[in-house]
Amino acid sequence: MAGFGRVITAMVTPMDRTLAVDYDRAAALAKRLVDRGSDGLVISGTTGESPTLTDEEKVRLFHTVREAVGRRAAVIAGTGTYDTAHSIHLTKEAERAGCDAVLLVNPYYNKPSQEGLYQHFKAVAESTRLPVMLYNIQGRTSVNCEPATVARLAQVANIVAIKEASGSLDQMSQIRKLTPPEFLLYSGDDSLTLPLLAVGGHGVVSVASHLAGREIREMIDTFVAGDVRRATAIHLRLWPLFKVLFITTNPVPVKAALALAGFDVGSLRLPLVEATPKERDQIGAVLKELALTAVAA
């Protein structure tokens, strides 16, 4: 299922001055990201502030981005919630919107067991013809989708990939060992993309690609081509960016970074708040070091 590509951007949701979704800016951002190296876009994921978007806003974003990028990139809809029935509803809407796949995060807050996780993901997957990418992030959901559960889910025909954000290369290695080669393993952390490639990963669902998509694309391509030294050099050059974009809750830093880079995407809906002056200075210093400031919109 290589149709997702290797560099997928978890896209922010642009807001106007009233904190309404700015759909025109979203379309422009989607085109910009594809022009700068993204093979796919996750719409209404964590980075897209999904918890504070209404269903209507999410569905309109799915349509907006699909129309903006056409078939130049995969459009992956974030449709996972803590309610299986609601997740199925959003997944059907994503299918109607012409999305290429859906991203399903672990159900959050209600802390399902491993069997509950399996039954949830299986039920959503069986409700659609779309390919499904799982999203495992214990830090946001309070539950870890364990490798054995992922292996069971990989046997469901249209569950074809996982965004692994456990932060554990041991867990990622175990998932790779337990799943078939065609099951795609993506890093959910920019700083772990290169190490994950070394243990059988396919690519990254990235935040940093908002700023450095071409470089991340080059890092992965050079590694796949066998030039590990060049890939490592790119990784180390970008490492300060990977880290500074998580000095506070995502997507606060990346929205600040985009503004500093000349592509303002507006503020954030409460309970998230803008980066502090100190955080903006830290972000700005890294962007300046990498020559990413004052990029024309």
Closest CA to 102 of 150, 151, 161: 161
Interatomic CA distance for residues 127 and 284, integer angstroms:
45
DSSP state of 274: P
In the chain, which ranges are E strands?
A: 7-10, 40-43, 74-78, 101-105, 132-136, 159-164, 184-187, 203-206
Active-site hit among 23, 118, 163, 186: 163
Q: Largest Cα–Cα distance in the chain?
A: 49
Place of tokens 């594809």: 34
Contact 160, 183 (CB under 8 A): yes
Active-site hit among 118, 135, 186, 255: 135
Reply yes or no on whether 135 is catalytic.
Answer: yes
Provide the β-strand partners of residue 132.
102, 159
Burial 53-67 (b: 16+ CB within 10 A, else e): beeebbbbbbbbbbe
Backbone angles phi, psi at 276, to 5 degrees: -70, 165
CB atoms within 10 A of CB 29: 24
DSSP 201-264: --EEEESTHHHHHHHHHHHHHHHHTT-HHHHHHHHHHHHHHHHHTTSSSTTHHHHHHHHHTT--
**Active-site positions?**
135, 163
